[in-house]
Amino acid sequence: MTKIKFLSVIFLISLFASCQAKTGKNYAISDEVRDVIVNNVIKSFEKAESNINLVPVPDDIPLGPDPDPEKCVCKGTGTIVHGDGHTTKCPFHPVELILHKMKKEN
């Protein structure tokens, strides 16, 4: 009985393997079709890349402290407001220095 089961299993495996080999060819594409697809993809990428502006546009927003009050993130106020809302003193425009300059001007 086990000999019959063994031969049946071998037969089913070989049948399954032969069916897989035959159906695998049905899903392949020809070299010509593949070349057309690849060429279309290459042309699409070239077109997309030609539309990209490779010159970076500078941000108008200051990135950090700067000696120039116009470029400084504190805008000359002496206080830097961070994204989460907390504040720190600006190293280039401390409030004390601003008050001192105001007193000198008056």
Neighbours of 93 (CB within 10 A): 23
| pTM score, whole prediction | 0.37
| Mean pLDDT (whole number) for 93-103 | 74
Percentage of the chain lying above the pLDDT 70 cut: 68
pLDDT for the residue 44: 92
pLDDT for the residue 18: 66
| Mean pLDDT (whole number) for 1-16 | 70
SS (H, E, C) the chain: CHHHHHHHHHHHHHHHHHHHHHHHHHHCCCHHHHHHHHHHHHHHHHHHHHCCCCCCCCCCCCCCCCCCCCCCCCCCCCEEECCCCCEEECCCCCHHHHHHHHHHHC
| Mean pLDDT (whole number) for 43-65 | 78
pLDDT for the residue 60: 65
Q: How confident is the model at residue 25 (pLDDT cuts 50, 70, 90)?
A: very low
| Mean pLDDT (whole number) for 49-57 | 76
